[in-house]
């Protein structure tokens, strides 16, 4: 009896399963619980099918002509009028240069040697991109030999705590391979001379403006993580102290004080790498980072075989820009007026004629120098990104939002903006604008005046 029952149940289960599937139309069969549906039928004919066929040549109208070329005299007049603004009071200089051919479209005191403030970073960026491909990375290494760990900096001042922790973990593994559990720590920072630049004056580390250049630094030496907060005066030493703590966390005992010593050649080493140099350039221009700008200037000196001191770095950038200026046919007067004392624009002793800066930017935008084209996309965009994110908003300058690209600058009575834009007639230009000689309490009005001058370049009416 039990055997018969089992056979019946085994047969009933698949039969029931099939019946249910047939009902739901999962399997072919006569049973169904669904209502009948018609298949797709042809829809109405497209309206266009009844239109009269025309010859393709007749269907395409004439190509619209470009807007009328901008009259340089009109652009000159409109930009000149801004010199009458109360905060400007005549203290206005500018230069606008056509990227296609180098024609000067408008200028005022363009050959005057003026304080560039942070627009100088554009020249530093151009100099470093002339010397490097942009794909290079900055390494930080740690050698392990005979119970000594040597931390070696090769220019990366953008190290994060996680970066150093990774290096410490790799270093501890190397030490364990050598049956070493207790080490001493040395620091090798001979890669760059670096240090604090006397030309910064009151705009140095004490004011929170910049970290002294070093072969390595943790978070750029920004002690509270803020761009203009307190700065380390010994960024490499501070990074080494933190590295010692991380070595301890990784299982090594670090004995004694941190010494200064060169890394032994050929010793086993762990290493980590920075972002590509192109990303450091982009970061520098977007937020106007003084610390990385100075680092880039030092790298220019390194590539030219010159001293990697603050003075050597400034001289290297100046020499590189002089070479570029000669290549693009800049006048001797403008080249002679160029006088650089740092790579960031913090020094009040820097001098750059607007004619030089606009000509360099026109060359950047010309498409003739691919190595420099990155700058076009790295500079902030009016009312959208970087240091221009909150500029060109409201009033008569609103129309320039999203159209003007430029690097901002402000320093003790000088408000500057330099970059690239496209005129209403489609011509791309490089430009440099300086409002100077105003009282420091009028800084906001001076920046607004710079924006008004810049907006005239993209004004349609």
Domains of the chain: 72-134+280-455 (3.40.710.10), 139-274 (3.50.80.20)
Tens digit of each residue's pLDDT (9 = 90 or more) over 57-99: 343 333 334 567 889 999 999 999 999 999 999 999 999 999 9
The pLDDT, as a whole number, for residue 191 is: 98
On whether the CB atoms of residues 186 and 123 are closer than 8 A, the answer is: no
Task: Report phi then psi at 104, rounded to 5.
Answer: -80, 120
Q: How many CB atoms lie within 10 A of CB 236?
A: 26
Per-residue pLDDT, 61: 35
> How would DSSP label each residue in 309-363?
SHHHHHHHHHHHHHHHHHHTT--HHHHHH-B-S-SSS--TT-BB-HHHHHHHHHH
Burial 303-315 (b: 16+ CB within 10 A, else e): bbebebbbbbbbb
| pLDDT for res 11 | 44
**In the predicted model, is pLDDT for residue 187 greater than 60?**
yes
Q: Is the pLDDT of residue 143 over 50?
A: yes
d(CA 231, CA 347): 18
Residue 322 pLDDT exceeds 70: yes
- CA–CA distance from 56 to each of 48, 53, 64, 65, 411 (Å)? 15, 9, 18, 21, 61
192 has a pLDDT exceeding 90: yes
Beta bridge partners of 431: 96, 419
Residue 18 pLDDT class (50, 70, 90 cuts): very low
pLDDT higher than 90, residue 177: yes
Averaged pLDDT, 324-330 = 96
Mean pLDDT within 6-29: 42
In this structure, the strands spanning 428-436 and 92-98 are: antiparallel
Rounded Cα distance between 84 and 68, Å, is 28
* Predicted confidence (pLDDT) at residue 202 exceeds the cutoff of 90: yes
The secondary structure of 385-449 as a DSSP string is SGGGTTSS-SGGGGGGTTT-EEEEEEETTEEEEEEEEE-TTS-EEEEEEEEES--GGGHHHHHHH
Q: How confident is the model at residue 103 (pLDDT cuts 50, 70, 90)?
A: very high
pLDDT of residue 34 exceeding 80: no
Give the Cα separation of 325 and 356 in Å (integer): 7
Q: Using 50, 70 and 90 to split pLDDT, how confident is the model at 461? A: low
Residue 42 to residue 65: CA distance in whole angstroms: 44
Torsions phi, psi of 163, nearest 5? -60, -50
Q: What does the pLDDT read at residue 265?
A: 96
Angle value at C-alpha 380, between 312 and 443, nearest 5 degrees: 80
Average model confidence (pLDDT) for the chain?
A: 89
**Residue 20 carries which DSSP code?**
H
Q: What percent of the chain has pLDDT over 90?
A: 83
């Amino acid at each position: 009896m039990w055997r018969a029952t089992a056979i019946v149940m085994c047969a009933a289960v698949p039969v029931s399963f099939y019946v249910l599937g047939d009902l739901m139309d999962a399997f072919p069969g006569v049973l169904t619980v669904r209502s009948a549906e018609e298949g797709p039928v042809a829809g109405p004919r497209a309206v266009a099918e009844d239109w009269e066929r025309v010859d393709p040549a007749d269907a395409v109208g004439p190509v619209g002509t470009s807007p009328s070329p901008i009259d340089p005299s009109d652009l000159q007049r409109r930009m000149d009028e801004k010199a009458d603004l109360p905060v400007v009071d005549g203290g206005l200089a500018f230069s606008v240069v056509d990227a296609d051919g180098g024609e000067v479209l408008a200028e005022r005191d363009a050959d005057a040697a003026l304080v560039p403030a942070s627009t100088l970073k554009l020249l530093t960026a151009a100099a470093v991109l002339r010397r490097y491909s942009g794909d290079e990375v900055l390494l930080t290494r740690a050698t392990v030999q005979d119970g000594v760990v040597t931390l070696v900096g090769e220019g990366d001042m953008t190290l994060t705590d996680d970066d150093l922790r990774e290096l410490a973990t790799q270093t501890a593994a190397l030490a364990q391979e050598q049956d070493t559990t207790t080490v001493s720590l040395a620091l090798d920072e001979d890669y760059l001379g670096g240090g604090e630049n006397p030309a910064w004056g009151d705009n140095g580390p004490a004011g929170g403006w910049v970290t002294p250049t070093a072969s390595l630094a943790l978070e750029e030496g920004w002690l509270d993580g803020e761009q203009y907060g307190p700065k380390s005066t010994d960024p490499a030493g501070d990074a080494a102290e933190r590295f010692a703590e991380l070595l301890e966390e990784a299982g090594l005992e670090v004995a004694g004080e941190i010494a200064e010593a060169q890394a032994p050649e050929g010793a086993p080493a762990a290493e980590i790498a920075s972002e590509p140099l192109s990303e450091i350039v982009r970061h520098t221009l977007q937020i106007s980072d003084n610390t990385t700008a100075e680092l880039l200037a030092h790298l220019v000196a390194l590539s030219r075989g010159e001293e990697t001191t603050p003075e050597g770095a400034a001289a290297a950038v100046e020499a590189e820009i002089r070479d570029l200026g000669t290549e693009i046919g800049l006048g001797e007067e403008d080249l002679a007026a160029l006088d650089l004392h740092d790579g960031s624009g913090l020094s009040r002793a820097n001098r750059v004629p607007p004619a030089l800066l606009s000509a360099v930017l026109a060359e950047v935008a010309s498409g003739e120098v691919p190595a420099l084209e990155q700058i076009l996309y790295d500079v902030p965009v009016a009312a959208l990104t970087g240091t221009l994110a909150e500029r060109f908003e409201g009033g008569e300058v609103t129309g320039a939002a999203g159209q003007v690209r430029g690097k901002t600058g402000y320093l003790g009575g000088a408000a500057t903006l330099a970059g690239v834009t496209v005129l209403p007639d489609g011509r791309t230009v490089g430009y440099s604008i300086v409002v100077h000689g105003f009282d420091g309490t009028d800084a906001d009005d001076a920046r607004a005046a710079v924006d008004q001058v810049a907006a005239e370049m993209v004004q349609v009416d």
